[in-house]
Amino acid sequence: MDSNAKHIETLIVPRHELDGALWNSFIAQSPQGANYAMTWYLDAVWPTWQGILVFYKGKLQAVMPVRASSKFGISYCLQPWLCQYLGIFFASMELKNEKAWALKKRLVTAVADTIPQNLKKVVLNFAPEFDYPLPFHWAGYELRTRYTYWLDHNPDKQLLFGNLNERTRTYINKAGRSGLTASNTGDVAGIIQLSREQEAYPLDYNVLGKLWAALQTNNAGRAIEVRDKEGRLHCGLLYHVSGQKQIHLFSALDPATKHLGGMSLAIWHSIEQAVDDIRIHDFEGSMLEPVEKFFRGFNTYPVPYLQIRKNTFPKPLRWMVED
């Protein structure tokens, strides 16, 4: 047995019993911290979630949100929509390298042991900054690599524009010549309605509405719309600011006017309007080749992040619930 195991204490706490201020303060100071794990964000996209808390020598050192859902009597835990990653969030560690890895091993093992064992399927994404997944592998989880796409911010907008590829610059200029303009907006009803009409996303728009309200309350949500001279909405983009990251969250596009370059204009506007304390534009990623090509046109680079998976359905049924 690990000689330090006795110093580990793990709790799984229902949302209504969590100290929200303590949780949010911990997330804000974590190297993996992001809005995704804030109580107000999770309350909107993942109601009835619980918090796993791991203490080492009486000090909170790691947390992880989880939610056990059930359908047809089968329990599971899946990454929520509109939430790129969650996973484990560590406290900052001022330890020498080997000691830091040893502590992370104990913390991750404690979390893996605390995830409800009755879950038949688990699919969860972890922040790109999470760097010690091995205890999940040892516990029987499959580890997969996913990719998001980042653009390093630079206050020199001319330099940023010059670094776009030729195709992207062409579309942005074409949008301007076609009379399209991008502007910030506080009313996202039109953007959501445009998405509904195109049936672009298989998601609960009520959840999106709750999340947008939470982002606005916490001064973290921004929206951009692109319209023509007649006021017709061509596309829209929702994003949120999390620390030094500007994260693309949701978009809607009229496919009939896609060729005019409105979405390229909207994204460029979000980059151009970013304040100087933004360090990274996070495009939230996609594993689809055409989407990757589109994002890469903005001079982004791929950033890997972890996905853990476990499927304990009987083998004859396992293929039915794989994606």
Give the tokens for residue 310. 């476990």
pTM assigned to the model: 0.92
Strand stretches in the chain, DSSP E:
8-14, 50-56, 59-66, 69-71, 74-78, 89-90, 121-125, 142-152, 181-184, 221-227, 233-242, 245-253, 280-282, 301-311
Average pLDDT over residues 132-147: 96
Per the structure, the complete domain to which residue 42 belongs is given by 5-145+306-321
Tokens of 307: 């996905």
Instruction: Give yes or no: residues 137 and 192 share one domain.
Output: no
Q: Is residue 107, in this structure, part of any structural domain at all?
A: yes
Please report the pLDDT score of residue 182 as a whole number.
97
Q: Are residues 134 and 160 in the same domain?
A: no
Q: How high is the mean pLDDT of the chain?
A: 92
The predicted pLDDT at position 12 comes to: 96
**CATH of residue 112:** 3.40.630.30
pLDDT at position 301, please?
Answer: 95
Say how many C-beta atoms besides its own lie within 10 A of residue 292's C-beta. Answer: 17
Q: Is residue 265 part of a domain?
A: yes
- For residue 204, the model assigns a pLDDT of 85
Residue 85 counted as domain residue: yes
Q: What are phi and psi of 146, to 5 degrees?
A: -115, 170
Q: What is the reported pLDDT for 210?
A: 95
Residues 157 and 191: their CA atoms lie apart, in Å, by: 26
274 lies in the same domain as 312: no
Same domain, 175 and 137: no
d(CA 178, CA 315): 55
Closest to 89 in 3D by CA, of 127, 125, 124, 116? 127
- Span 47-95, pLDDT tens digits: 999 999 999 999 999 999 999 998 888 899 999 999 999 999 999 988 7
Mean pLDDT of 33-49: 96
d(CA 158, CA 63): 41
Cβ-proximal residues to 46 (8 Å cutoff; 6+ apart), any chain: 65, 67, 80, 83
Does a structural domain hold residue 31?
yes
Q: How many domains does the chain have?
A: 2
Q: Which residues of 141-165 are buried (b: 16+ CB within 10 A; e: fewer)?
A: beeeebebbbbebeeeeeebeeebe
Assess whether 256 and 312 both reside in one domain: no
pLDDT band at 277 (very low <50, low <70, confident <90, very high): confident
Does residue 49 sit in the same domain as residue 127?
yes
Domain-embedded: residue 294: no
20 band by pLDDT with thresholds 50, 70 and 90: very high
How far is Cα of residue 308 from the mean position of the Cα atoms in its chain? 15
Calculate mean pLDDT across residues 199-209: 80
Same domain, 29 and 56: yes
Per-residue model confidence (pLDDT) at position 318: 53
Residue pointed to by tokens 């496919």? 255
Digit-coded pLDDT (tens) for 140-197: 999 999 999 999 999 899 999 999 999 999 999 999 999 999 999 999 999 999 998 8
Q: Is residue 296 part of a domain?
A: no
Confidence of residue 316 (pLDDT cuts 50, 70, 90): low
Closest CA to 122 of 136, 105, 107, 108: 136
**Banded pLDDT at 275 (limits 50, 70, 90):** confident
Q: For residues 295 and 204, what is the distance between their CA atoms, to the nearest angstrom?
A: 25
> What per-residue confidence (pLDDT) applies to 284?
87
Whether 285 maps to a domain, the answer reads no
Verify that 123 and 182 share a domain, yes or no: no
pLDDT of residue 3: 43
Place of tokens 């029987």: 140
Looking at the fold, whether 38 and 88 belong to one and the same domain comes out as: yes
* Beta strand extents in 119-206 (DSSP E only): 121-125, 142-152, 181-184
Q: How many residues does the chain have?
A: 323
Judgement on whether residues 184 and 269 belong to the same structural domain of the protein:
yes
Q: Residue 219: what pLDDT? A: 95
**105 and 231 belong to one structural domain:** no
pLDDT at position 1? 38
Verify that 178 and 133 share a domain, yes or no: no
pLDDT above 50 (res 2):
no
pLDDT single digits (tens) 216-271: 999 999 999 999 999 999 999 999 999 999 999 999 999 999 999 999 999 999 99
The confidence score (pLDDT) of residue 321 equals 47
For residue 221, tell me if it sits in a domain.
yes
